[in-house]
Amino acid sequence: MDILIDCISLREEFGICSVERPAIPSAEQTLKIYEVDGRDGSLTEKGNWRDIELPINFNLLDEENIRMKMRKFKALLINAKKLVLEEEPDVFYKIKFVKMGDIVNEIAEHGEFQLTFRLEPFAYMDFTDTIYLTNQATIFNPGTYFSEPVITLYGSGNINLTIGETNLILKEVANFITINTPLKSAYKEQLPLNNKILGNFPVLNPGDNKILWSGNVTKIEIKPEWRYLL
In this predicted structure, the answer to whether residue 65 has a pLDDT above a threshold of 70 is no
Architecture of domain 3-125: Beta Barrel (2.40)
Q: What is the DSSP letter of 104?
A: B
The one-letter amino acid code at 52 reads: I
* Angstrom distance (rounded) from CA 138 to CA 49: 28
Provide, rounded to the nearest whole percent, the portion of the chain with pLDDT above 70: 96
Cα 116 to Cα 114: distance, rounded to the nearest angstrom: 7
| Domain topology for 131-229 | Jelly Rolls (2.60.120)
Q: Which residues on neighbouring strands pair with residue 177, listed in sequence order? A: 153
Provide the pLDDT for residue 63: 59
What pLDDT, in 10s, does the model give residues 132-190?
Answer: 999 999 999 999 999 999 999 999 999 999 999 999 999 999 999 999 999 999 999 99
Torsion, CA 101, CA 102, CA 108, CA 109, rounded to 10: -10
Can you give the residue ranges of every domain in the chain?
Answer: 3-125, 131-229
Tallying the residues shown for the chain, one arrives at 230
Would you place residue 43 in the very low, low, confident or very high pLDDT band (cuts 50, 70, 90)? confident
Residues 94-116 have pLDDT tens digits of: 999 999 988 776 445 567 899 99
Give, in degrees to the nearest 5, the angle at Cα 151 between 146 and 171. Answer: 120
Q: Say how many C-beta atoms besides its own lie within 10 A of residue 55's C-beta.
A: 13
pTM: 0.89
Helix (H, G, I), strand (E, B) or coil at 71: helix
Q: Contact at 8 Å (CB) between 172 and 158?
A: yes
